[in-house]
Chains A and B, each alone.
Chain A
Amino acid sequence: MTKYVIKRILYMFLTMFVITVMCFVLIKLLPLPAVREMGRDINLVLAKREKMGYNKPIMVQFFLYMKSIFTEWDWGVGEQMYDSLPIWDVMMQKLPYTVVVNLYSILISIPLGLGLGIYAALKKNKWQDAFISTLVMVFISVPSYVYAFLVQYIFCFKLDWFPLQLASLSQAGSLFSWRMFVSMVPAIMSLSFGVIAGFTRYTRAELSEVLTGDYMLLARTKGLTKAQAISRHAMRNAMVVILPMIIGEFIGILGGSMIIENIFGIPGIGNLYIASINVRDYNFFMALTVFYTLIGLASGIVIDISYGFIDPRIRMGSKK
């Protein structure tokens, strides 16, 4: 197990390294945008560029980039936006918004999704199941921005229950204040429809498969009630597959949804990424590329490893 985990992590870093090199080279091949006039700060950016060796060969630049990251945790400074602010600081300032919105969404989606999925599996092939499955099909297929527009139109304009845009931190006081939460509700709703449907579909599929297992018949034969058999045997076995998915979702909340952040004006990581492309700030773009790649890779590994932890029967890395 340990050996497998180490191997996976080493692979992850290898992949990470290759992608970083590729993206770095591709970004450096683009014409370097001129530094905008911004008073005295222009010299700071120029000095920074000099330090990063912007007129040296690209591989030397890459070496300097890596060196400054590993020795000083310096990801560069904003050139076209967030003038001269360190990129890492800006990212850390944006990250909480993304995380909080997605966290709320996940916390709402998990119980709802699991509950509906379990219910549908238990009522399999009855009308309740057909109803839930149809809804799931619709909610999974419809793109998240369509919900966003619907939620915005109905709840923000027509009913006027929620503000259109996220409350600013100064208005709301804290990221976790009630006012902040209320202004986040439209975004949370738009995010959650698809996630709930995903959880429901997955839970229903797993549980209904488990329910047909022989050990379920045995459990009933030896005298357990249906509820006992389901909670003690079926759910546990279904969870082997469902839990890793939940864990994966938790890592995914770091990345968030660019389009939802864009529609509801959440000043999160996704909006930062889009802004960095639009103004061609390649320092931000590079750092965010690394960030997104890392999240993707990490969630893959955590999901795989969690299988082994949740169900000792699964031996990771063994030959099939």
Chain B
Amino acid sequence: MMEQRIDRNIPKEKFQFVQKEARIHDERLQTKSVGYLQDAWNRFRTNKSAVVAFVLIMVLAAFALIVPVVSNYTVTFRDGYYKTVLPKFELFKNSGFWDGGKNEKQSVAGYQYLNAIGLETGKPAIMKVYDSFQDSTGETYYNLRVDSYYSVGFVYVNLSDAEYQALMQYQNDTGIQVIYPLAAIQNKHFVRGNDGANFWYKLQDESQGSSGAAKLDDNGNYIPNYLTSDNPERAGYTSLRIAGDGENGVWYTYAQKNQTGYRCRVHYSEYFYYRNGFYASFLFGTNVYGQDIFTCLAVGARFSLLLAITVATINFILGVIYGSIEGYYGGATDMIMERISDILASVPFMVTATLFQLHLADRVGVVVSLLFAFVLTGWVGTASRVRTQFYRFKGQEYVLAARTLGASDRRLIFKHIFPNSLGTIVTGAVMTIPGVIFSESMLSYLHIINLDTSSTLTSIGTMLSNGQGYLSTYPHIIMFPAIFIAILEISFNLFGNGLRDALNPSLRGADN
């Protein structure tokens, strides 16, 4: 230990006054002060999972807001022929994954059917032939990857006179064949196909119950089997003709005149392009109504998010006002108000939602009545949290000090007590968002609310229930909405946890 040395004899002249003229101030703080929000932000930033969750929420929200605006499709878009087509992402073309293809086992007739579509249109319906094999009965089967878009092939459409002329004009301008000769076989009893529109070739057997196997010529080629006539201008057709037309003085028939206009056989992929200006390609596929799942999902998510945020905001305001009054005044006021909120909280949410639907949906619309249902009982949770916080803080000395200085009730509530409880309350409000999203999807899944009536709206729950019957055959219909809502819920919960840790450091890790 060092010996303490004290000089006892310091001559007087060695002393001098410090700051003889200057005034003494508190020293200015050299570091920057850190406010509550800054502090919370610093804490939040270090929580990696919460930051990731927040970014995810932003991405999903951006998806929900942007996609309905920029998408080629709308919720009202329904295509009768591209029903349940599979997800297709142009980047993965022909990769065997996310390319709109499906692995199928086909008999010889099925293989010929798909192959014929590709031969006639130049757009192959078969993406890949994996292998062929013979089963125990000697029947040959093929394992194929089938393009769910091109396998639609041809369809019969009825066009008005003007539409027919415009389509022929389009063909002449672009040189793209859309209208193809009518098939001679017009039976509808084949398993596949749109009114048999894809059977442009001769079959071995055209009777009921036929397998639909093709009759091939000596070289193994299909034998075309179109409606023919001896007049090239039959039914007013003056546009492009396919190869092989007009040989031996036999002309194919491209349209039949009927009462309303013309019945034509069109190549659907090109016809779709002609009608819409783009080729059909659905990122998440379509559902059984031919709606684009990608767009519907975004519209449904946008609705869910907006609803949830609105509900959270309203409940936050109502809860804060109600809870503050309860918690601040206490006593009889508190008791009566607690009874009321107790009763409201005890009504099962399903009952509230149903009653509001039954009473109000016809008068003010589904959305507003749904909002009412969420608001009616939703604020009770916030109110009780606020109340608890008030009980915690109102007895503390600084509040007493403020009261002694003459602060009004309102000032005490909003200036002194409320900011202290803000963290807990805000966290609670954010945590209600995933709950609202879940409840809304559940209600629309169970058909208790029906958002699709207004035709510009849809809900994730409705999409799920639409896909449920097709879970085994077309799982993509249900998969995308389910994944979306799962990610959304996980993100909101993680984000809420991070927010809680950031805003209330004392609660860090509680019930986590």
Contact = CB atoms under 8 A, between A and B. Distances in A.
Interface of A: 11, 15, 18-19, 22-23, 26-27, 29-30, 133, 137-138, 140-143, 145-146, 149-150, 152-153, 157, 201-202, 205, 258-259, 262-263, 273-274, 277-278, 280, 285, 289, 292-293, 296-297, 300
Contacts of B348: 289, 292-293, 296
Contacts of A27: 355
A237 to B, nearest CB: 17
22 contacts: A18-B343, A30-B358, A133-B512, A141-B490, A142-B490, A143-B486, A145-B482, A146-B485, A149-B464, A149-B478, A149-B482, A152-B471, A205-B511, A259-B445, A274-B446, A274-B447, A292-B348, A292-B350, A292-B351, A293-B347, A293-B351, A296-B348
B63 to A, nearest CB: 18
A298 to B, nearest CB: 11
A296 B350 CA distance: 12
B472 A138 contact: no
Contacts of A30: 358-359
A238 B137 CA distance: 67
B471 A149 contact: yes
B433 to A, nearest CB: 12
Contacts of B442: 143, 145, 258-259
B450 to A, nearest CB: 11
Contacts of A258: 350, 442, 446
B448 A29 contact: no
Given A149-B464, A157-B472, A205-B512, 9 more contacts: A140-B493, A141-B486, A143-B485, A150-B482, A205-B510, A258-B350, A273-B350, A274-B448, A292-B351
Given A15-B343, A15-B346, A152-B471, A141 B351 contact: no
A155 to B, nearest CB: 12
Nearest to B485: A143
- B interface bracket (residues with beta carbon within 8 Å of A): 35 or more
Contact of A145 (B445, B448, B512): B445
A147 to B, nearest CB: 9
Q: What are the 5 A-B residue pairs with the smallest beta carbon separation, nearest first?
A: A141-B490, A141-B489, A292-B348, A141-B493, A157-B472
B468 interface: yes
A150 B253 CA distance: 51
B347, B475, B511 pick with most chain A CB within 10 angstroms:
B347
Given A26-B355, A145-B445, A297-B346, A201 B512 contact: yes
Interface in B420-471: 434, 438, 441-442, 445-448, 464, 468, 471
The DSSP consensus for interface residues of chain B is helix
B50 to A, nearest CB: 11
B112 interface: no
Given A153-B475, A205-B512, A263 B350 contact: no
A289 B490 contact: no
B354 interface: yes
Given A152-B471, A293-B348, A297-B346, A145 B464 contact: yes
A284 B406 CA distance: 58
B342 interface: yes
Contacts of B343: 15, 18-19
Interface string B379-412: 0000000000000000000000000000000000
Contacts of B464: 145, 149
B86 interface: no
Nearest to B391: A320
The DSSP consensus for interface residues of chain A is helix
B489 A142 contact: yes
A143 B438 contact: yes
Contacts of B438: 143
Contacts of B468: 149, 263
A293 B510 CA distance: 30
B280 interface: no
B351 A23 contact: yes
A277 B351 CA distance: 10
A293 B344 CA distance: 11
Given A146-B482, A201-B512, A157 B471 contact: yes
Contacts of A145: 442, 445, 464, 482
Interface in B315-340: none
A23 B355 contact: yes
A149 B354 CA distance: 25
Interface string B474-505: 01001000100110011011100100000000
Contact of A153 (B350, B471, B485, B492): B471
B434 A141 contact: yes
Contact of B441 (A133, A143, A263, A274): A143
A277 B448 contact: yes
A126 B468 CA distance: 41
Nearest to B442: A259
A137 B478 contact: no
B354, B490, B510, B511 pick with most chain A CB within 10 angstroms:
B354
A242 to B, nearest CB: 12
A292 B359 CA distance: 20
Nearest to A125: B509
A137 B346 contact: no
Contacts of B494: 137, 141
Contacts of B447: 274, 278
A26 B355 CA distance: 7
Contacts of B441: 143
A23 to B, nearest CB: 7
B482 A259 contact: no
Nearest to B446: A274
Nearest to B493: A141
Contacts of A138: 490
A252 to B, nearest CB: 12
B373 to A, nearest CB: 12
Contact of B493 (A18, A137, A280): A137
